[in-house]
Amino acid sequence: MSLLTVSNVHKHFKNGPHVTRAVDGVSFTIKEGEVLGIIGESGSGKSTVARIAVGLLQPDAGTVIFDGRDVSTMGPRERRALRTSIGIVFQDPFGSLDPRRTALESVLEPLEVKHPGRAARKTREAAAREALNRVGIGPELQERYPSRLSGGEQQRVGIARAIVTRPRLVLLDEPTSALDRSIRGDILDLLSSIQRDDNLTYCLISHDVETVARLAHRVLVMYRGQVVESGPTDQILGAPRHPYTQLLLSARLPLDPDAELPPLPTPARPPRGHSECQFFPRCHRATEDCTAGPIPTIDIAPDHRVTCRRLASAESR
């Protein structure tokens, strides 16, 4: 059963006369209990589409259906309920926490939205302490402010804050990229165990192959606002078919989001003309056939889809 369905979503940003098509006709679903990883270069649109999916941004066009309800038609009460049904773990653990609140107070905050009133105070505090203990933040750390916690401890508090309301969906926005490599594995193990034990649904944004391989069941590959390939994690990481996915994986998805991809081989016959494929100008496998109208999306294998005219032509032969 699909928990989240994103259909033909668009989001454009204007900067004077220039328009950036951050998200340009993206569609995908996330099933209940599934982890969907979204990967791509910085500027590919993956964070924008994820924020649209969890209600942090409004799309210019398209629909987002969460648990059978169109998010755009929700009233104020339903939107408040939606906020407690979706948790978010941010990239910067220190920046995501209020420096004036202790770890316990930070985790209590979303519970105060879900269960307001003085009568529920003891219940809220018990739930907050339980969530903190679960992620490895014991009583001796729960009264500390973020500045007195390590980066790993701060992120554990962020995870507790994201799961304390027992959400249906959690957005993981580069959850380990700001952490020391020595503690990334511990955080990934924690996220994996929580997802498995609670049958949580994750939407994972990451540049890191290790993170995607360890957490994601399916992977969506984005380039310049469009999905170019999607499918099971083992197929995308083990046998990528789109030239852009192959390039990303050959670069091993550098942790630095501003890192440059390696130079592409020069095409034997540089293509001419215009193509609706966004990757066309950089693709070392492009031919003039790639300019022949809309780019088709084809099924390479069950649940493995690629948007590429060259591959579509090869499959049809």
Q: What are the two backbone dihedrals, phi and then psi, of residue 81, each rounded to the nearest 5 degrees?
A: -65, -35
Contact 219, 227 (CB under 8 A): no
Which residues, other chains included, contact 83 with Cβ-Cβ below 8 Å and sequence gap of 6+?
A: 55, 110, 113
- The sign of the CA dihedral 195, 158, 130, 150 is positive
Q: How far is CA 225 from the centre of its chain?
A: 14
pLDDT for the residue numbered 232: 97
Alpha carbon distances (Å) from 107 to 70, 103, 127, 225, 299: 29, 6, 9, 34, 44
Q: Amino acid letter at 315?
A: E
pLDDT for the residue numbered 278: 86
Which residues, other chains included, contact 118 with Cβ-Cβ below 8 Å and sequence gap of 6+?
A: none
Token reading at 144: 């500390």
pLDDT for the residue numbered 127: 95
pLDDT for the residue numbered 250: 83
**CA–CA separation, 223 vs 45, rounded Å?**
7
- Any bridge partners for residue 31, and if so which? 2
Q: Class for domain 2-222, per CATH?
A: alpha beta
Token reading at 170: 């959690």
**CA–CA separation, 291 vs 273, rounded Å?**
7
pLDDT for the residue numbered 282: 84
pLDDT for the residue numbered 181: 84
Would you write out the chain's pLDDT as a tens digit for each of its 317 residues? 899 999 999 999 988 888 899 999 999 999 999 999 999 988 899 999 999 998 889 999 999 999 999 988 888 888 888 888 999 999 888 999 999 999 999 999 999 888 777 767 889 999 999 999 999 999 999 999 999 999 999 999 999 999 999 999 999 999 998 888 889 999 999 999 999 999 999 999 998 888 999 999 999 999 999 999 999 999 999 999 999 999 888 876 444 445 555 555 555 454 566 778 888 888 888 888 888 888 899 999 989 999 998 888 776 55
The secondary structure of the chain, three-state, reads CEEEEEEEEEEEEEECCEEEEEEEEEEEEEECCCEEEEECCCCCCHHHHHHHHCCCCCCCEEEEEECCEEHHHCCHHHHHHHHHHEEEECCCCCCCCCCCCCHHHHHHHHHHHHCCCHHHHHHHHHHHHHHHHHCCCCHHHHCCCHHHCCHHHHHHHHHHHHHCCCCCEEEEECCCCCCCHHHHHHHHHHHHHHHHHHCCEEEEECCCHHHHHHHCCEEEEEECCEEEEEEEHHHHHHCCCCHHHHHHHHCCCCCCCCCCCCCCCCCCCCCCCCCCCCCHHHCCCCCHHHHCCCCCEEEEECCEEEECHHHHHHHHC
- The sign of the CA dihedral 247, 248, 253, 256 is positive
Q: What are the two backbone dihedrals, phi and then psi, of residue 261, each rounded to the nearest 5 degrees?
A: -70, 155
The length of the chain in residues reads 317
Q: What are the two backbone dihedrals, phi and then psi, of residue 79, each rounded to the nearest 5 degrees?
A: -70, -35
pLDDT for the residue numbered 15: 85
pLDDT for the residue numbered 209: 83
